Structure 1
Amino acid sequence: MIKPLAISLAVASALPSLAAAQELERVIVTGSNIRTTQKEGASAVQVISAKDIAASGKASIADVIRSISANSGNSYNEQYTGSFSAGTAGLSLRGIGQKNTLILVNGKRVSPYATAQDLQEVFVDLNSLPMAAVQRIEVLKDGASSVYGSDAVAGVVNIILYKEFKGTELSAQVGSSTEGTGQSEKSAALQTGFGSLAKDGYSVVFSLDAQQRDKLQQDQVAWMAGSDFRGNANGALAWVPANYLNNDPTKLLGGLQGPLQLQPYGAITPGKSGTVQAYNNAQYKTLIPGISRIHSSLRGTLKLNEDTEAYADLLYGHSRADQTFGAPLTVGSGLRAWNNARQQLDNISVLLPVGHPNNPGATPLPFTATLFDLGARTKRDSVDFFRALAGVKGALAGWDYDASVGRSGSKLEETVNNFVNRYEFEKVLAEGSYNFADQSRNSEAVRNRLRLSTLRPAESTLTTVDFNASKELAGLPAGPLGFAFGAQWRREEMDSQTSTAVLSGTELRPAINIIQGKRDVAALFAEFNVPVVKDLNVNLAGRADRYSDFGSAFSPKASARYQAAQWLLLRGTVSRGFRAPSLPEITNSTSVSYGSVIDPRDPITPTQARGVTNLTIANAELRPERSGNVNLGVVIAPSSDSSIGVDYYRIRTKGVIDTESADNIIANEKTAPEKVVRDAQGRIQTLYRQYANQGDRLVSGIDIDLRQRLGLGRWGKLALNAQLSHVFKFEAPLALGEPLTNGAGNNYFGSIPKWRGVTSATWDIGAWASTLTWNYVDGYEQTTRENERVKPVGTLDANVGWKVTPAATVSFIVQNLTDKRPSWDSSTAFFDFTQADPRGRTAAVKLNYKF
């Protein structure tokens, strides 16, 4: 399905002479600014063509890119519903985070998403990018800061759109789950173009694609609907105790109401006794949001003269994601609201006053209650993305040059419903006008007083000016000496706010991710391609970046490519890279989020996890993360139909930016008590955290690329392809100051399976083209639970295409052919959404028509 560029070595190495090679068109491959006839360079580049994309049966550009084997962990798609960036999708090459993989469109940067993922990750949302306009995708699996600057530590994905397209192509696809979940999906695309640069002196290409998919709730998936996981390792009845008094779930407040049922406390929390009122949270849990997206792309090129052409492209995307944010709000101990003047959280009293209908006693009574009659809390994220870019490129005085200016942006509007008004809550509590014990008696007027809807805006913009030029400086005995240089200026801006209800202290239990900052970046870069002897090329590159906030960074790179024989290529690179501190890490930012800790000094539950609030702030003194990359590879191509590529990578990063772990803060509370806030009982309420340059991280592994094409005579042709990635090490400290611990094959640092693989077989015979793809994710050790290993999982995808007429093709697509269930992972309640998909088998029909 997906072919590595290494395979093209078989074609290039079979050329009979250098003279024949010089007749080939010189092109720029991702990772270099120098034009070359060598399709295979010193770094491994995986190419996904438009034909490969169609054969995959995937409905979005994000699904296509995220399926590659080098996407080894710590990347998220819209399954991450608890995020500040719900509905998005990113890519994490080598598992070191989306912020370390650079996404380009036509070799140029685009704006990151409007706000940050996990508070600090600034990333490009793949769901905002067009699908129909893609001619190919090049994935550089090597550090490339020497060419592109920050964020290219793990690699680069360059999405290349059609420059010319003749005719018009229409497609429509309809599909749904076969497992009774009720989830359906529809998509359509238009691609049209006219004009030829060679014949007409101009070309125009326009594309439009749209996608709609229903929301998937946990209670729609049979094996998760009951939230009863007691048959799995370390599993329990994942119901939520609610409506009780004095912080004791066995002291019931009122009777059964709404979704509440009586359950043994020990079934929910092993070791406990008694009976509790609890509810199944599955009906309030969105596994995959409902989405609707539309993308458009317009690209025009005008030939000014024989040596010069002007170009412009415009990208626009609109996407919407709808989800159930969570169950109705639970009020109880630890309830907070934001105090903007103090930049802290205020504690909200949750006590039934004397005389309240639910308090028969003579003293105020602590209680916990879920406000079921207000309804589930819902969220909708609406995003508009654009990029406008114009430039001129050509040849002048022996130089090939490209100059452009661009503006890109991402704008988010997030609306939430059925949150709770803090001031009205305090009033109805004091008045006794809201019945917590029997919510059926509450009037709709009182409910509406409590309900709160808010709007959270966020925007990110990127302005760029780029120039680069290349030339063959001299003819050396082994070939021409290539040289390229260039400059770049860009301005990065992010303005991610919270709602006015949060700032005024009106919203109860607020989540906040305020980011407000901008910076300018200027860079100079240069590159030499030196033919040392016949068949041996050395490439030297360097880039100097100057940031207006933290200062400077320099990124050098040296690589070598040796064509040892027609069938054998040896290659390697050594480079330094960097990731600049993101705007939420270094600029004016504040976040409030929620997590859980085990506190050995907790007076009530010292051995059990307890929910806490995290307040995280930026650090203006941060330095960039510095990385050292080593890549070594070999490609064996005994014929034009066969190739084997093996590439080793090693990335060591110093000064990784993160916050101190909660466990470390608690362990060192005596020396830094200001980081821990406890209530009157001595239980932790808030942890104060700040970003800092901390320890090192070492990641290493190999990529294996295999291809074999077979002619079957009257039975057509068969193409076999496989990409396998194996992680040797993923080492980082578990706490500040501790030695490195290997997280490969476990989930110390997010689940990092040792093996990931994508293997496909494509059979073409007559009017039929069929592709069968096997996606494999290795198992991993469960580090937070004893005697548990998450099992490996493999899924099969099938795509059968029938060319009904020369213009029309019908495809039958089945994803997860055998309806394979995600592997159980108790640390995530049921499965790790970064590694698996809960939808089960889905089937679709696609119609494609060209005219």
Structure 2
Amino acid sequence: MNKIALLPMAIGSLLAASVHAQTSPDQAAQLQAVTVTGSNIKTTDAEGASPVEVLTAAQIEHSGKTNLPDFLRTISANNGNSFNEQYTGSFSAGTASVSLRGLGSKNTLVLVDGKRVSNFATANELQDTFVDLNALPLSAVERIEVLKDGASAVYGSDAIAGVVNIILKQNYQGFEAGGNFGSSTEGTGQRERSFHLLGGSGDLAKDGYNIFFAVDGQERDRLDQDDVGWMRDNDFRDKPGGRLNWTPTNYYNNDATQGFANAVGPVRKVDYGAITPGKSGQVWAYNPAQYTTLMPKVERYHSVLRGTLKLGDDLQAYGEWIYSRTRAGFTFSPPLSIGSGLRAWNNANQTLTNIDTALPVGNPANPYGVPTPVNTNLWDVGQRNKRDRQIFNRILFGLRGRNAGWDWDISALHSESRLTETVTNFGNRYAFQSLLADGGYDFTSNTNNASAVDALRLATLRPAVSKISAANATASRLLFDLPAGTVGFAAGAEFRRESIDSNTSDAVLSGTELRPAIDIIHGARNVSAGYAEFNVPLLTTLEANIAGRLDHYSDFGNAFAPKFSLRWQPLDWLLLRGSFSRGFRAPSLPEITNSTAVSYGSVVDPYDPITPGQRRSYTGVNAANPKLKPERSKNYNVGIVVSPTVDTSIGLDYYHIVQNGIIGPDDTTYIVNHPEVYPGRVVREQGRIVTIYNQYQNQSSLTTDGVDIDFSHVLHAGRWGDFTLRGNWSRLLDYRQPRVAGQPSVNGAGTNIFGSLPYWRGSTGIGWSIGDFNSTLTWYYTGGYKQNPENRLTDAYPARVKNWSTADLSIAYTGIERTTLTLAVQNLQNRRPPWDPSYTYFDSTQADPRGRVVNVGVNYRF
């Protein structure tokens, strides 16, 4: 069959369109088979039985994005429950992830050159392990293949929602260098600088070797909330459901209206009702915008060294080293708050110890003749800061060749992510207790003794490391002929060891740090797997693919994942495809191994004796569960691709995913509302919640389905140049999950019940290439969503959050020899994120606060 007519454009890949459009039938017959993400059997088909979106280096360049996470956030299937460095209130602050189908980063497998890399050194949301995209390079990327189908039958755990395979340059020759400078146009002071160097020597086919290196770096200034004009005052009373988002402080007897006699710290008197509707009187309060980092200061440096050597006509050796250093610095919180619920860790019995904060009689801050509760902040100590540094690497060696009709590849790798987190201006428990007892620190004074302040100040270091070591072997060949064609076969085996050693500081373990947050993980396991795959031509136009993989985990046992798919191409321009698979996600090491986590949250407490029905802060203690089983899934996909010409492609794919045994803690709201069901799980003092205990369980299920729409068209307009239209859209149809195990499922599609999951997400870009100019205008759209009814604390809350629609423009000029000049404008219209009071101001998983950003760059090829 004439391969030039077989769906020549992979969705979203105009490079493929260009190549096929200019290839003759004789040349097409010489096309080499390649391995595509989702299969170990080589093929020459541009479209397979499962939808794979191919993003080329040219598309990355034309996007104007300067780092990998920002680029991957443009994928329409990356819809909901992903995060980037805006999410600073976690143990994995400064990181970024990808979340296909809204199922979270733990269900999206990230590969580099088809093989695993280590997860980040600690967990997100206490339990989710993931690959930090900030640790991976962008300049060395040749293409990114996004498999939007379950792939446990090929890759094992974590691929329930799909796979993101980052493929680095393989046979690069030459040398180039470039740099970029960008800045917000909104006077926030946030600037970014980046550079890259690439060099390669040797053509593998002609010279028998290739060596390639790439180095890139990026620095970006910190963006605090008070840098952004519309958020600086933290006063949103002009918006639906908005209020004055200030924090009451400096008061006695747990009554905010019983304030100090004088202002202490950056406070002023405000109406209590402006902060909490229904309250009256005046209170001391401060604006937390000055202590809120929206985007941390980041420094990222990546390097790649790769070599390939021909040892014979049918044998190659290869090696690769990826090394990166990333830093993120930000304000963690205001100065430490003092009041009821102040605790320290008791490592001997693995519990929290309450610290008495009542002012004793005679304390200079106590105007009463009895011990008096106080609520204030350690203003003199200063804001609490964090700085995270990650060192990431992956070393890979392998051999590949062809013998007796077999294509084979064996490799070994080791990858690590090492984290050191430094915190400053935290509180010293023993100094606090001593100064409280002897009156050496006056909470009502702005001029405390420097020695007392220094004694209260505490700096700590938290180390963590995640490791993976693996050996892989794959082999494939054509087995035998059938009337309709030749049967393809692939098989392989994998062994890997995974481990996490995430510690806390000595100050926490000794009980010295006040209000500690803890995420201790000590665990390791071995995984062995075998897998096989058959590609069977049933008719000349119909192929079946059957795959299966059996994994054995040393902690929970076995998991088997099969997959069956069909690819039917009755006409050169028409492809129909479908697949069914079973997948699994192994319990993460924080969930199943020796781990303890202490964090802080808030919950609406109907039984609070002082403010019933209002949010109350609490300390959460989560424990691992060694009896966990893997989460299981069933994936169904059907699709159609129409390619009437070599310049046009339209694809429509429907997916349906059922996930069972989802691991998670019990819902805190349900625990609080039903004390008869969970006796002893809620600890109260004087009737007010202080601690909630929880443990991970296999306890719920989830069903989601939706549609992906992909299209591209190239128009050759002669002297007017070439125009390219490309679109990538996802429509979420259903996302059902019970709020609490055992309760009826709730549809979260188009709401923020299970994280913001808008119905629509997508982009459409128009490219124009003429002469020495190449430009792309891209429209990005994130649909609005309904507000979770439980988030609507008052009737004034908006029932719906609006959509977010922005445009990016990039222009490249190549009229100077060997030089490319670029101009990129992100958020051309300077659109603000949509207002969502349930997230204080906006949802950072869907938008960012930078406004318009202009970036200029130059690249020179030697």
Map of 1:393 onto structure 2: 400
Please give the residue correspondences for 1:500-649 in structure 2 after superposition, counting only pairs within 5 Å. 500-649=506-655
Alignment of 1:699-738 (within 5 A): 699-738=704-743
- AA at the equivalent of 2:228: V
Q: Secondary structure at the match of 1:282?
A: helix
Contact (CA 8 Å) 1:5, 1:39: kept in 2 or not? no
Q: CA offset at residue 391 of structure 1?
A: 0.3
Instruction: Identify which of 676, 684, 694 aligns with 1:670.
Output: 676
Out of 213-222 and 367-376, give the one that drifted further. 367-376
CA distance in 2, matches of 1:232, 1:5: 39
Shift of 1:8: 8.7
Taking the TM superposition and a 5 Å limit, the aligned residue runs for 1:105-254 are: 105-254=112-261
Which of 375, 379, 387 aligns to 2:386? It is 379
Give the Cα–Cα distance (whole angstroms) in 2 for the partners of residues 756 and 12 of structure 1: 30
Matched, 1:95 2:106: no
- Give yes or no for the alignment of 1:29 onto 2:56: no
- Partner of 1:64 in structure 2? 71
Partners of 1:641 and 1:424 in 2: how far apart? 72
Give the match's secondary structure for 2:324: strand
Report the alpha carbon displacement of residue 14 of structure 1 after superposing the two structures with TM. Answer: 9.2
Per-residue CA deviation, residues 24-68 of structure 1 (Å, 9 max, x unaligned), is 201000000001111211011111111111000101011111211
Alignment match of 2:822 (pick from 811, 826, 838) = 811
Deviation at 1:468, TM superposition (A): 0.4
Shift, 1:232, TM fit = 1.0
In structure 1, C-alpha distance between the alignment counterparts of 2:161 and 2:15, rounded to whole Å: 23
Structure 2 residue aligned with 1:846: 857
Partner SS, residue 41 of structure 2: coil
Q: In structure 2, what is the Cα distance between the partners aligned to 1:14 and 1:814?
A: 31
Q: CA deviation at 1:327?
A: 0.4
1:655 matches 2:666: no
Equivalents in 2 of 1:94, 1:436: separation in Å? 50
| Equivalent in the alignment of 1:698 | 703
- Cα distance in 2 for residues equivalent to 1:7 and 1:57: 17
Correspondence list, 1:236-315, <5 A: 236-315=243-322
User: Aligned residues: percent identity?
Assistant: 54
Q: Is the 8 A contact 1:8 1:40 kept in 2?
A: no
For the 8 Å contact 1:6–1:40, the answer to whether it is kept is no
Q: Which runs of 4+ in 1 moved over 3 A?
A: 5-22
Letter in 2 for 1:738: Q
Q: Does 1:350 align with 2:357?
A: yes
Change (3 A) 1:736 1:171: same
1:555–1:578 Cα contact (<8 Å) kept? yes
Distance 2:760 2:629 in 1: 33
Q: Does 638-647 or 797-806 show the bigger shift? A: 797-806
Does structure 1 residue 455 correspond to structure 2 residue 461? Answer: yes
CA separation of 1:11/1:629 partners in 2, compared to 1, >3 Å: closer, same or farther? farther
Deviation per residue, 1:599-651 (Å, 9 max, x gap): 22211111101001100000000000000000110001110111110000111
Indicate conservation of the 8 Å contact 2:180/2:857, yes or no. Answer: yes
Distance 2:175 2:368 in 1: 77
| Structure 1 position 671, deviation (Å) | 3.6
Query: Contact between 2:607 and 2:613, CA under 8 Å: does it hold in 1?
Result: no
**TM-score after normalising by structure 1:** 0.98
Q: How far apart are 1:361 and its partner, in Å?
A: 2.3
Paired residue type of 2:317: A
**Alpha carbons 1:312, 1:389 under 8 Å: kept:** yes
Of stretches 271-280 and 709-718 in structure 1, the one that deviates more from structure 2 is 709-718
Is 1:794 the counterpart of 2:805? The answer is: yes
Asked whether 1:739 is paired with 2:744, we answer yes
* Residue 9 of structure 1: how far off its partner (Å): 9.1
Residues 262-315 of structure 1 show CA distances to partners (whole Å, capped at 9, x for unaligned) of 100000000000000000000000000000010000000000000000000000
After TM superposition, the score normalised by the length of structure 2 is 0.97
Question: How far off its partner does 1:397 sit?
Answer: 1.3
> Is 1:409 the equivalent of 2:416?
yes
* SS of equivalent residue, structure 2 residue 258: strand
Q: Please state whether the residue corresponding to 1:448 is helix, strand or coil.
A: helix
Q: Is the 8 A contact 1:50 1:136 kept in 2?
A: yes
In the alignment, structure 1 residue 474 sits paired with structure 2 residue 480: yes
Structure 1 counterpart of 2:47, one-letter code: E
Distance change (3 Å), C-alpha of 1:7 and 1:135: closer
Residue 76 of structure 2 aligns to a residue in which SS? coil
- Paired AA for residue 597 in structure 2: S
Which AA in structure 2 matches 1:554?
A: F
State the one-letter code of the partner of 2:436. Answer: L
Q: Hey, what's the Cα distance between the residues in 2 that align with 1:356 and 1:581?
A: 51
Find the residue that maps to 1:374 and give its secondary structure. coil
Q: Residues of 2 paired with 1:700 and 1:404: CA distance?
A: 37
Q: Quote the offset at 1:5 in angstroms.
A: 5.7
Letter of the structure 2 residue corresponding to residue 404 of structure 1: S
Task: Give the AA of the match of 1:578.
Answer: F
**Alignment match, 2:691:** 686
SS at match of 2:741: coil
Q: Secondary structure at the match of 1:756?
A: strand
Q: After superposing the two structures, state which structure 1 stretch, 588-597 or 19-28, moved more.
A: 19-28
Structure 1 residues 471-495: Cα deviation after superposition (integer angstroms, max 9, x where no partner)? 1000111111000000000000000
**SS of corresponding position for 2:480:** strand
Query: Aligned to 1:104, what secondary structure does the other structure show?
Result: strand
Asked if the contact 1:578/1:627 (under 8 Å) is kept, the reply is yes
Q: Secondary structure at the match of 2:390?
A: strand
> Does the 8 A contact of 1:5 with 1:45 survive in 2?
no
1:664·1:736 contact (CA, 8 Å) conserved in 2? no
The one-letter code sitting in structure 1 at the alignment partner of 2:647 is D
Cα displacement (A) at 1:839: 0.3
Amino acid at match of 1:418: N
Secondary structure of 1:94's counterpart equals coil
- In 2, are the aligned partners of 1:328 and 1:376 still within 8 Å (CA)? yes
Contact 1:7 1:643 in 2 (8 A): no
- What is the CA–CA distance in structure 2 between the aligned matches of 1:186 and 1:354, rounded to whole Å? 56
Unaligned ranges ≥5, structure 1: none
Counterpart CA distance in 2 for 1:647 and 1:7 is 20
1:13–1:567: 8 Å Cα contact kept in structure 2?
A: no
Q: Distance in 1 between matches of 2:136 and 2:367?
A: 60
Count of paired positions: 848
Indicate if the aligned counterparts of 1:745 and 1:754 stay in contact, CA closer than 8 A: yes
The one-letter code sitting in structure 2 at the alignment partner of 1:190 is L
- The code of the aligned residue for 2:682 comes to V
2:498 corresponds to which residue? 492
**Superimposed CA distance per residue, residues 347-395 of structure 1 (whole angstroms, 9 cap, x where no aligned partner):** 0001110111121322101110111111111000000000000000010
Name which of 318, 334, 345 aligns with 1:338: 345
What are the superposed Cα offsets for residues 165-219 of structure 1, whole Å, 9 maximum, x if unpaired? Answer: 1110111000111000000000000010001111111100000000000000000
Counterparts of 1:709 and 1:615, CA distance in 2: 56
Using the alignment, how far apart are the partners of 1:620 and 1:747 within structure 2?
Answer: 31
Q: Residues 6 and 44 of structure 1 are in contact (CA less than 8 Å); yes or no, is this contact kept in structure 2?
A: no
Where 1:663 maps in the other structure, the secondary structure is helix
| Aligned partner of residue 82 in structure 1, secondary structure | coil
Which consecutive residues of structure 2, in runs of 5 or more, have no partner in the other structure? 1-8
